Amino acid sequence: MSRQRQIILWTFTLAFLALSVREMVLRGGVSRPRTVISHSGMAPERAEASLLLLRRAARTLPPLSRVAVVKPRGRWDDAGMLAVAHGQLPRQHAVPASALDPGGNAPDFVVAIDAPLEDPRYERIYEAAGGGIWERVR
Partner 1 sequence: MMIGARFLIMTLLVFAAGFWARVFRASSAVYFAAGLVTLAVEMIVFGRWTGWGLMILPVAGLLGCWVAERRKRTSNSATQQLSNHHWLPLIPALLALLIFALTVMSAAATSGDFVFFWGTKGQRFAQERMLDVGFLRNPDHVVMHPEYPPLVPLYYAWTMLGAAELDWFGAMASAILFLALATLAIRNFTESDAFAAFFASLFALLCIRNNVAGNAEPALLFFEVLALCALFAKNDAIAAIALCGAVLTKIEGAVFAVIVIALLGRRWRVALPPLAVLGGWLLFAKFNGLLASSDPRYAFSFGQLLPSVRQLAGEMSFGLWYAPWIAIALLARSWKHIAAALAFLAFMAVIYARPEAHMEWSAQRVLMTPLVLFFFSAITRDRNG
Amino acid identity at 27? R
Q: b/e per residue, 34-43, with b = 16+ CB within 10 A?
A: ebeebbeeee
Q: How far is the CB of 123 from partner 1 (least distance, A)?
A: 26
Contact pick of 40, 74, 125, 127 for partner 1 (by CB under 8 A): 40
Half-sphere exposure of 19 (CA within 13 A, CB side): 6
User: Measured from the CB atom, is 24 or 128 closer to partner 1?
Assistant: 24
Count Cβ atoms within 10 A of the Cβ of residue 131 and give its class: 0-12 exposed, 13-18 middle, 19 or more buried: buried
Binding status of residue 75 toward partner 1 by CB under 8 A:
no
Q: How far apart are CA 99 and CA 1, in angstroms?
A: 65
Contact pick of 84, 110, 112, 117 for partner 1 (by CB under 8 A): 84
User: Measured from the CB atom, is 10 or 123 closer to partner 1?
Assistant: 10
Which residues here bind partner 1, judged by CB under 8 A?
Answer: 1, 5-6, 8-10, 12-17, 19-21, 23-24, 27-33, 35-41, 47, 51, 79-80, 82-84, 86-88, 90-91, 96
